[in-house]
Amino acid sequence: MPTKEDIINTVKETGACCIPDFLSESELQEAREDLDKACADMGFGDQKSGERARLDSPDLLSYPGIERIFNHPETKELAAMFTGDEDPFVQEVVANRYYPPFPPLDPHMDENFGLVPPFMRLTWALFLDDTTAESGALCYVPGSHLRNYVDDAEADKQPPTDDEVEHADYVPIPLTAGTLVLRASDVWHSVKPINHLRRYLTGSYISRTRLTPWFKKDIERIITERAAQ
């Protein structure tokens, strides 16, 4: 059983780490039921094959089976260890439901070169369905997040090229339902073609104390929007 320190070291070194069986069977079932309710309530009641429902709203927290996962003490503790911030900010509150068949997601990164200082932001995803290496696996390039950090010791470090990101060696992460995947938010990733129902909840935690001006503004915007809801 890896310790929390082992888990965080793995995320820092490789960009990702899986924690299987993060939820009990009953928690998993409640999360699935609540995600289906949220999809119906938020306009995806008649989702069709080949469509992706992406819900991006703090309203998801009003569903107890979903809220439990976003406020899970262990994820919070891991995020605090990763960011070095006692109380990192919950930046994203998102749920996804893909109805198969759905095409692969091309290799990409969520954060451009230099946007995120090292280990400032942790993304987690709690998967509600099994994925295999052939169907629906999230893939990543171990160590690629390190390419995205500006490094004072390497003044002429260049951003990765589109070609590098497209042709890197992507490793699939097959997993069972109930697995939590932690990833450095800027690790390069892609998704294999999806041939089965694929649902997950995902969020990100960002350090409050090491924010760059861009993120400071973005977080002020999120706080204002949430207060108005």
List of residues contacting ligand AKG (CB under 6 A): 96, 105, 138, 189, 191
Q: Which residue is nearest to ligand AKG (CB)?
A: 138
CB of 96 to ligand AKG, least distance (A): 6
CB of 69 to ligand AKG, least distance (A): 16
DSSP 3-state assignment of 96? strand
Give just the sign of the alpha carbon dihedral 147, 186, 215, 7. Answer: negative
DSSP 3-state assignment of 99? coil
CB of 25 to ligand AKG, least distance (A): 22
CB of 53 to ligand AKG, least distance (A): 12
How far is Cα 106 from Cα 6, in angstroms, rounded to an integer? 30
CB of 194 to ligand AKG, least distance (A): 8
DSSP summary character for residue 89: E
Q: Which CB, 80 or 94, lies closer to ligand AKG?
A: 94
Q: Which CB, 170 or 205, lies closer to ligand AKG?
A: 170
Q: Which CB, 128 or 138, lies closer to ligand AKG?
A: 138
Q: Which CB, 72 or 183, lies closer to ligand AKG?
A: 183
Measured from the Cβ of residue 141, the count of other Cβ atoms closer than 10 Å reads 23
Q: Report residue 126 as tokens.
A: 């709690």
- Comparing CA positions, the residue from 34, 69, 91 lying closest to residue 215 is 91
Q: Which CB, 81 or 115, lies closer to ligand AKG?
A: 115
Q: What are the residue ranges of helices labelled H in the chain?
A: 4-14, 25-41, 64-70, 73-83, 144-147, 162-167, 213-228
Strand partners of residue 17: 182
CB of 198 to ligand AKG, least distance (A): 7
Q: Which CB, 90 or 109, lies closer to ligand AKG?
A: 109
174 Cβ contact list (under 8 Å, min separation 6)? 131, 132, 133, 137
